[in-house]
Amino acid sequence: MHKDGATPAPMKWWGWGEESVSFTHEGKPELAPFIERHLKLDVRRPGTPPLAFEALEISAPVLSAPLRARLEDAVGAGHVSSDDQDRVVHGRGKSLTDLVRQRRGDLSRLPDVVVRPGAEDEVVAVMEAALAADAVVIPFGGGSSISGSLEPEAGESRPVISVDMVRMNRVLGIDATSQLARVQTGVFGPDLERQLNAQGWTCGHFPDSFTYSTLGGWIATRSSGMQSDRYGDVAELTRGLRVVTPSGVLVVRPVPSTSTGPSVREMVLGSEGRLGIVTEATIHIRRVPAERKILGYLFPAWADGLAAMRDIAAGETEPSVTRVSDSYETAFSFATRTDPTPLDRVKSRALQAFLKRKGWDLEAMCLSFIGYEGSEGEVAMQRKQTERITKRHGGLCIGSSPGALYDQKKFDTPYIRDFLLDRGAPADVSETSAPWGELQTVYDNVMAAGYGAFDELGVPGYLMCHLSHSYHAGACLYFTFALNPPAGRDALEDYGVVKRAIQQAFVDSGATLSHHHAVGTEHAQWLEEDISAPGVAMLRALFEGTDPGANLNPGKIVATGRDREPGETVPRGESSRTNGGTGEPRRSLDARRASRPRS
Ligand code: FAD
């Protein structure tokens, strides 16, 4: 824990979460054979740890004495740090590319100083000091960015200030009548829930990175949590805002809806620090539900699961979670089961025999989780109505233990990336959203592109998917992939081939470049294909108009001002593969039908 006792200690500089926590295959008897079968990787062998911190070459900070003095005046000397560990931890987020480069000791441009303001007037003073010195300001929440939203630009010659919001972590007030809470944005997920729960409320936002991400980061990336079906994404949860910008404090009133021209609230959502530092938000809250249940279901095949989720979204019930995995992810989930008891074995054999008798192909079957919340009566009613739909699509309820296990383990899953990287295998995620009518096509195109990329590289790989976050018009598809490049190959290059193939298949299929992981630098090359050239021009005008000196997290989302070459539409170094700049989907893909494994 951090010194204040309410926030987690900073994450390890080379990986996810706490030093003392790690993922292991031990106690999961089917996992090592599964990974060996699909990735040709023996995870029973000990891994290679990253470099020792002492072996890193850390450049000296570029920070003039007058700027340091002004920052110390702004926040207090004890909250200004140029400590090596602080600078390294604040230099990047936790994307796969970030993790690999950290492990290799390739640190690139580090922030020169980390400041930790304790109140909005201190943030204003930091902003004024930074602008007066023509310094770069990068807001920092939990550092869990997965799209390259935190790293200073390579070769940045101006001083770089990382503004860590950790001290601004309080719920300032609750308006029970309006079901709104005013909250400082440096609060981490668990601390926010702790403060709200103490008064009988919840925000209901639970991203997988919940433990290590903050309200400000969620707002700046348009985050989405596992219970978004009921509570909404952060874009819906956030009503009012206070943002320290170069021209003063921007205030968005917490009204339910407004007709004041293009929405300034929406401009701040997803702005990744390019418009200012969000200091406070007024967010929706709801009463902590009396009952909360996540049940497991099986569907005969992916198409059945998709159709069931679509019909649930179109119906009157409001489950908190609707999620279905494809057969590849289902096989992976089953492989991560812990040592079964003799009774579990009997039950599992009986279930398999039953499904076979019903004519199911067990390799095609798909695991689903559906969550219900409310009073006991509401949960029973939601369940009854939802199960009418699941049954219509061949679904079978398998009870509460798989859902309870998923709920309990979900925040531990991110540690698996470090476990695989210790053994040289990159693993990552890419997510998108599309209308219900397009989801199967998007899925097929992405699977063909991903497995095609493994084939092209000649490396063993595994790609799997689930649907989560359902809306009236469509849903999110969340892909997870891993590959095992042979020794001597650059794992990051091979990883890049697969990641680009998947992302390209998203935009070519008419889906978005990201449903909730944001643009940063890692997804910027697909922005024009997603939102069209005039869309990019509007964003650029917004950023340049708000921040004429390009002091606020430059180079993220779109390149602006001094970080752009004439005629360039995406940050330097990224190749733009515009689809004629129209933003229209390219329907026919030359995706190779690749040799996908049977799970
Ligand atoms: P940071 O990473 O610190 O910053 C992200 C961006 O926001 C940066 O551009 C930063 O400058 C800006 N920023 C941060 N605070 C402020 C502020 N106060 N004012 C202005 N700008 C600010 N995302 C999801 O939505 N759902 C998930 O389920 C999910 N799961 C994840 C699982 C893993 C393992 C990982 C590594 C990431 C996951 N993410 C997920 C992505 C990430 O957690 C989100 O993008 C999150 O919203 C980032 O919050 P943060 O506080 O860590 O922000």
Q: H/E/C letters for each residue in 516-554?
A: CCCCCCCCHHHHHHHHCHHHHHHHHHHHHHHCCCCCECC
| Pairing between β-strand 113-115 and β-strand 160-164 as defined by DSSP bridges | parallel
Could you tell me if the CB of 167 is within 6 A of ligand 1?
A: no
Could you tell me if the CB of 209 is within 6 A of ligand 1?
A: yes
Q: How far is the CA of 296 from the centre of ligand 1 (A)?
A: 29
Could you tell me if the CB of 213 is within 6 A of ligand 1?
A: yes
Q: Give the Cα separation of 159 and 111 in Å (integer).
A: 8
Per the listing, tokens 């824990």 go with: 1
Could you tell me if the CB of 224 is within 6 A of ligand 1?
A: yes
Residue type, 361: D
- Among 21, 114, 208, residue to substitute to test ligand 1 (most atoms within 8 Å of Cβ): 208
Q: How far is the CA of 140 from the centre of ligand 1 (A)?
A: 9
- Among 209, 238, 265, 419, residue to substitute to test ligand 1 (most atoms within 8 Å of Cβ): 209
| Pairing between β-strand 461-470 and β-strand 321-325 as defined by DSSP bridges | antiparallel
What was the pLDDT predicted at 412?
74
Q: Give the Cα separation of 556 and 274 in Å (integer).
A: 7
Strands (E), 310-420: 321-325, 366-374, 396-399
What was the pLDDT predicted at 22?
83
Could you tell me if the CB of 214 is within 6 A of ligand 1?
A: yes
| Atom nearest to 94 CA in ligand 1 | 36
| 130, 133, 134, 137 alpha-carbon torsion, rounded to 10° | -20
Q: Give the Cα separation of 521 and 89 in Å (integer).
A: 18
CA end-to-end span of the chain: 40
Could you tell me if the CB of 227 is within 6 A of ligand 1?
A: no
478 in catalytic set: yes
Could you tell me if the CB of 161 is within 6 A of ligand 1?
A: no
What was the pLDDT predicted at 573?
38
Closest C-alpha to ligand 1, atom 6: 272
Per-residue pLDDT of the chain (599 residues; tens, 9 = 90+): 555 556 777 789 999 998 888 888 888 889 999 999 999 999 998 888 889 999 999 999 999 999 999 999 999 999 999 999 999 999 999 999 999 999 999 999 999 999 999 999 999 999 999 999 999 999 999 999 999 999 999 999 999 999 999 999 999 999 999 999 999 999 999 999 999 999 999 999 999 999 999 999 999 999 999 999 999 999 999 999 999 999 999 999 999 999 999 999 999 999 999 999 999 999 999 999 999 999 999 999 999 999 999 999 999 888 999 999 999 999 999 998 887 777 777 778 888 888 999 999 999 999 999 999 999 999 999 999 999 999 999 999 999 888 777 777 777 778 899 999 999 999 999 999 999 999 999 999 999 999 999 999 999 999 999 999 999 999 999 999 999 999 999 999 999 999 999 999 999 999 999 999 999 999 999 999 999 999 999 999 999 999 999 999 999 999 875 555 544 544 443 433 434 445 455 444 444 344 566 54
Could you tell me if the CB of 185 is within 6 A of ligand 1?
A: yes
| Atom nearest to 417 CA in ligand 1 | 34
Could you tell me if the CB of 555 is within 6 A of ligand 1?
A: no
Which residue among 212, 406, 478, 495 is the active-site one? 478
| Pairing between β-strand 291-299 and β-strand 366-374 as defined by DSSP bridges | antiparallel
Q: How far is the CA of 419 from the centre of ligand 1 (A)?
A: 22
- Among 7, 86, 140, residue to substitute to test ligand 1 (most atoms within 8 Å of Cβ): 140
| Atom nearest to 214 CA in ligand 1 | 51
Could you tell me if the CB of 484 is within 6 A of ligand 1?
A: no
Q: How far is the CA of 144 from the centre of ligand 1 (A)?
A: 5
Could you tell me if the CB of 149 is within 6 A of ligand 1?
A: yes
* Beta pairing partners, 367: 298
Packing angle between helix 302-314 and helix 439-457, nearest 10 degrees?
140
Could you tell me if the CB of 223 is within 6 A of ligand 1?
A: yes
Q: How far is the CA of 581 from the centre of ligand 1 (A)?
A: 28
Closest C-alpha to ligand 1, atom 28: 207
What was the pLDDT predicted at 574?
41
| Pairing between β-strand 321-325 and β-strand 427-435 as defined by DSSP bridges | unpaired
| Atom nearest to 271 CA in ligand 1 | 21
| Pairing between β-strand 396-399 and β-strand 136-140 as defined by DSSP bridges | unpaired
77, 122 Cβ separation under 8 angstroms: no
Q: Give the Cα separation of 33 and 407 in Å (integer).
A: 25
Q: How far is the CA of 38 from the centre of ligand 1 (A)?
A: 31
Q: How far is the CA of 142 from the centre of ligand 1 (A)?
A: 7
Q: How far is the CA of 265 from the centre of ligand 1 (A)?
A: 18
Q: How far is the CA of 365 from the centre of ligand 1 (A)?
A: 33
Could you tell me if the CB of 414 is within 6 A of ligand 1?
A: yes
- Among 221, 275, 409, 552, residue to substitute to test ligand 1 (most atoms within 8 Å of Cβ): 221
Q: How far is the CA of 204 from the centre of ligand 1 (A)?
A: 17
